[in-house]
Amino acid sequence: MNIDETSVARSFAAGRGLVVTARTPGGLGQDPFQRIRGGELRGPVTHVAMATPYQELQRLLPQVFMGGSKNFTEPFVHQFNTEAPGPVYFWRERSCWNNTG
């Protein structure tokens, strides 16, 4: 069994991959851009995952997403945790613990 945490960014301003530009045939007619507010570049969410190679056990292991109060609203956390399709949890804290970024 393995437990690990990772930072999940709220936006990917420097994303890589297929980019459709104004020069792409059938493209957008303009170069791509993102409107990202400064606050969206900060405050990532922490995903704490537990993993095992045993499928029977994996479905029982919790997956936890920890976010600050600005990322997760109380109604969102309550609704998701009530309707979650398994041991997946959202924790809302004053600030989000994270040691990566």
Counting Cβ atoms within 10 Å, is residue 5 exposed (0-12), middle (13-18) or buried (19+)?
A: middle
Residue 99 within a domain: no
Domain extent, residue 80, equals 2-10+41-93
Residue 6 within a domain: yes
Residue 19 has pLDDT above 80, yes or no: no
Looking at residue 40, what is its pLDDT? 66
Residue 29 has pLDDT above 70, yes or no: no
Residue 63 within a domain: yes
Token pair listed for 84? 């979650």
> What pLDDT band is residue 69 in, cutting at 50, 70 and 90?
confident
Residue 59 within a domain: yes
Looking at residue 71, what is its pLDDT? 81
Counting the structural domains of the chain, the total is 1
> What pLDDT band is residue 88 in, cutting at 50, 70 and 90?
very high
Residue 63 has pLDDT above 90, yes or no: yes
Residue 71 within a domain: yes
